[in-house]
Amino acid sequence: MRIILTLALLLYGTSVFSQKTDQVSSIKSEYSYQYALIEASRQKMIGNVNEAINLYLSCISANPECDVAYYELGTVYSALGENEKAEDILFKAFKLVPDNYWYGIAYSELLKINNKSSKSLKVLKKVKRNNRSNFLTIDFKIAEIYSIDGRYSKAISVLELIEKEYGVSELISFKKFEIFKLQGSYAKAEGVLNSLIISAPEISEYQIILGEYFAEIGDSVRALQAYMAAFSIDSSNIYAVTNLADIYSSQGDDEKAYFYLNQAFLNHNIPLSNKIQTMMALNKDRNHINHNRKLLEVMVVSLMNEYPDNYEVKTVAYDFYNGIEDHPRALEIIKDILSNKKDDYIIWQQALYNASMLEDFDELIIIGEEALRYFPNKHELYLFVGMAYFQLDNFEKAYSVLSQNYSSIKDSDKIRLQFLIFLSESSYRTDRKTEAYTYFDALVEMDPSNDFTKNNYSYYLALDSVDLLKAKDLSYSTIVNSPDNSTFLDTYSWVLFRLGDYNNAKVYAQRALIIDSEKDPDIMFHYAEILYMLGEYRLAKEYYEKALQKGYNKQHIETKLMLLYEKL
């Protein structure tokens, strides 16, 4: 029964506040009015901002004197960045209860945000008159406004009065330091920091701030002294160590720079998370890493030796070696990571990347096939494995891997094009020629600007004497786009040869030979074949022999030469 009653109340509350006209009349009673305020605060806390705004507006409509609703609504608008609206609402809260400290502070902050510093200052002074127990906060905010307005002397006076009453403090000192820098009073700025250091000599952070100040004004000597002082106080302070390293690095003294960085990496008092963050930051600057490879590697190795089983250490080490393109070491580390973390696909991708960069196709197959056990629906893995088999000339296996996954790829998926490239080639090389032509047709349709695909397709059609007119059109389009490509010219000459157009075939074959400088045995063989058909037997013999010298099939050439001798 309690559950039902609670639900009924909630439903009643939702209906009451769903429309503004009903809201005003429904919350006139004290009970409904208080419920609305409580519910508005709850909605605000759980992130239902629009509902909270509606409820606060309903309370204000029912009771225009509700200062709490104005204040809460103003803070909501402020959080949303609607500062003009927030200022107007908070003013109403402050006007209703000018003695309320929080209303005054919130209203003055909005005035400051809205660049109304004079009005903000007046509000703060009024709040100070009405509140005798919060002078420290109010005076600090007054000093901030003086500083914003460029009234630095007044700001400093207020801060020094606070300091006189409450003593030297970090908050006040830092504010004075900031103002003195804005004034250009560098000696006074330095004096503030020194006073802070004297008051708490055991705090290394103050020396670091002093060092950063000296570095900012270009005094690297005193900056170095301050960082050294911080390091002597606390050698585990990562900022002291890294700033020392930066100073020496800027001076070109990389040995000392990395000495201090390595001190941090060897220091057991420095949290591992700090060391990892430092290494991650260093890994982002590839030029810096390449320049200081040996010094950085010392740090990486020391990390790995100290934390041999830590996953994050292994990842930053991998990033380092991968960044300097030491793919053998990177692959070794990523495989070690994979031995204990097989559920992260990105790690498998990185391992495949390193193996492919090394052109280690056997390793690529091992990694890819294992990855498929955990991610059997990842098309990319089938592509990697199929490509690797193809590179190893295992065309049957390449065809098997690629074809079993191809049908499940959506037409809109970009990876489909990559599958088609290797499927067309592996199909042709496993004597599935009809299937290969189908794949090639799909390839040309999907990527009509790919001249390499069109070249290969037209060459295969010419070899098989199939659809030679299509082969001619495909091949001709490649030499229109790339008239100086010897391979494309050779293919076109071979298509013309198959069509019986020997004279034109000779023209394009000669162009291919001139560009290729007589290095490709296929081009030489094709030219010899054309010359043979034109009856130029002696020149044909010369090019058959050149093709043989360059590595063309010996048995095939010997057969051609035997036929040729009968003609000479």
pLDDT tens digits for range 387-437: 999 999 999 999 999 999 998 998 888 899 999 999 999 999 999 999 999
pLDDT at residue 537 tops 70:
yes
- The pLDDT, as a whole number, for residue 343 is 92
| Residue 35 covered by a domain | no
- The pLDDT, as a whole number, for residue 518 is 66
Please give the structure tokens belonging to residue 401. 């891997």
Q: How many CB atoms lie within 10 A of CB 164?
A: 8
DSSP element (H, E) containing 414: none
Asked whether the beta carbons of 486 and 523 are under 8 A apart, the reply is yes
| Neighbouring residues of 561: CB distance < 8 A, sequence distance ≥ 6 | 541, 544, 545
- The pLDDT, as a whole number, for residue 231 is 84
Please give the structure tokens belonging to residue 548. 């043989």
Count: domains in the chain: 1
Please give the structure tokens belonging to residue 464. 């098989």
| Residue 436 covered by a domain | no
| Residue 354 covered by a domain | no
CA 447 to chain centre: 29
- Rounded CA-CA distance 416/406 in Å is 7
- The pLDDT, as a whole number, for residue 30 is 54
Taking residues 216-230, report their average pLDDT.
88
Of the two residues 248 and 202, the one the predictor is more confident about is 202
pLDDT at residue 478 tops 60:
yes
Q: Which DSSP string do the residues of 528-552 spell out, in sequence order?
A: HHHHHHTT-HHHHHHHHHHHHHTT-
Q: 77-116 pLDDT, tens per residue? A: 998 999 999 899 999 988 999 888 898 889 999 899 999 9
Integer-rounded Cα radius of gyration of the chain: 40
| Neighbouring residues of 358: CB distance < 8 A, sequence distance ≥ 6 | 327, 328, 331
| Residue 543 covered by a domain | yes
| Residue 541 covered by a domain | yes
| Residue 349 covered by a domain | no
- Strand spans (E) along 55-185: none
Burial 412-436 (b: 16+ CB within 10 A, else e): eeebbebbbbbbbbbbbbbebbebb
Of the two residues 62 and 479, the one the predictor is more confident about is 479
Q: 208-218 pLDDT, tens per residue? A: 988 888 888 88
| Residue 542 covered by a domain | yes
- The pLDDT, as a whole number, for residue 453 is 95
Q: Which DSSP string do the residues of 342-366 spell out, in sequence order?
A: -S-HHHHHHHHHHHHHTT-HHHHHH
- The pLDDT, as a whole number, for residue 31 is 53
* Model confidence band, residue 445 (pLDDT cutoffs 50, 70, 90): very high
Does the global pTM surpass 0.75? no
pLDDT at residue 383 tops 50:
yes
Q: How many CB atoms lie within 10 A of CB 563?
A: 11
Range(s) of the domain holding residue 525:
518-568
- The pLDDT, as a whole number, for residue 25 is 44
Q: How many CB atoms lie within 10 A of CB 160?
A: 13
- The pLDDT, as a whole number, for residue 129 is 86
137-151, 256-270, 303-317: least confidently modelled range: 256-270
| Residue 420 covered by a domain | no
Asked whether the beta carbons of 364 and 356 are under 8 A apart, the reply is yes
- The pLDDT, as a whole number, for residue 14 is 35
Which among 163-167, 170-174, 250-254, 318-322 has the top mean pLDDT?
318-322
Please give the structure tokens belonging to residue 404. 């079993």
Residues written for the chain: 568
pLDDT at residue 23 tops 60:
no
Taking residues 230-244, report their average pLDDT.
81
Of the two residues 34 and 461, the one the predictor is more confident about is 461
Q: 277-310 pLDDT, tens per residue? A: 878 887 887 777 777 788 788 888 888 988 899 9
| Neighbouring residues of 362: CB distance < 8 A, sequence distance ≥ 6 | 388, 392
| Neighbouring residues of 481: CB distance < 8 A, sequence distance ≥ 6 | 451
Q: 13-22 pLDDT, tens per residue? A: 333 333 343 4
* Model confidence band, residue 29 (pLDDT cutoffs 50, 70, 90): low
